[in-house]
A = this chain, B = another copy of it.
Amino acid sequence: MTLRIALRPAPLLLRFILPRPSLLLHQLPTRRAGHGPGQRVIHYMGHQAGATQPPTPHKTIHFCSQCAGPVDLKFVSSEDRWRHICSACSHVHYLNPRNVVGCIVEHEDQVLLCRRGIQPQLGKWTVPAGYMELQESTAEGAARETLEEAGAAVEIVAPYVHFDIPGIGQAYLLFRARLAPPFTFAAQAPESLETRLFPLEDIPWDELAFSAVSLALRYYVEDRRSQSWRMHHGVIRKQAGAGPNDPGSFKLTDYMGLPLGAERIQTQA
């Protein structure tokens, strides 16, 4: 894989606006995706599947779901990839990334955050989000998680952030959303110690649970303050063994900020 993209430091405007210098530990790339000749695009010229060593599986499969036979990790040369294969019935057990879906919920120029009541990251703040389930769409899953974790019904406005985190087999899709009538939320929920609306200047940056949420909220603040929305896409590369949001333990690569059209941010009445 060849990447021609260089990360750039945060723009001066952002450096000026953000309340704490420590926020810039993970500087946000600000390149905008190009559509015309001469503009930069991401070059993926190929792929090496790691033939020389088996991957660290994100989930360990010991026995076959079909016949209960013992499952081995074997290299499949035709696929150039390691697979979990039953040594009795030869069934191949595929493992694929999982989608994390959630909402950045706006209300009266504030955003709705939940303080986690379960592990991992018990006591840290996040946007309502969780694993997408079968038989629902990403937006339905995002709205469901918001109802479960914040007790809030929402209107989905638009997909906003898509981040891959290959190191942990996750793909994040966060939507912009608004509190829906009657504009209420639960102060507590089974998985949340506390739910609150935060003005942008009070977002608890040093107490956020997950790298993807930290980055998404930073772009959200940047977009609101520059008065123009983008659709954000990128890849979060984590240091092996790092925690979910350790300072300095991850970086955003392959970033694209797709500038959205003429519409300007409207402040809710």
A interface, CB within 8 angstroms of B: 1, 33-37, 41-47, 49-50, 55, 57-58, 60-68, 71, 78, 81, 93-99, 131-140, 142-144, 147, 153-159, 162, 164, 166-167, 169, 171, 173, 178, 180, 190, 229, 231, 233, 235, 254, 256, 258-266, 268-269
Contact B81 A41 (CB under 8 A): no
Contact A63 B62 (CB under 8 A): no
Q: List 11 A-B contacts (CB under 8 A).
A: A33-B157, A41-B155, A41-B178, A44-B144, A44-B153, A46-B153, A47-B140, A96-B131, A96-B132, A135-B166, A159-B258
Cβ–Cβ < 8 Å partners of A259 in chain B: 260-263
Most chain B Cβ neighbours within 10 Å, of A47, A58, A60: A47
Which B-chain residue is minimally distant from A33 (CB atoms)?
Answer: B158
Contact A66 B65 (CB under 8 A): no
Contact B262 A260 (CB under 8 A): no
Partner of A65, one of B63, B164, B258: B63
| Copies of this subunit | 2
Contact A171 B44 (CB under 8 A): no
Which 9 pairs between the two chains have the least Cβ-Cβ distance?
A: A44-B143, A259-B261, A36-B266, A137-B164, A63-B68, A47-B144, A68-B68, A41-B155, A137-B235
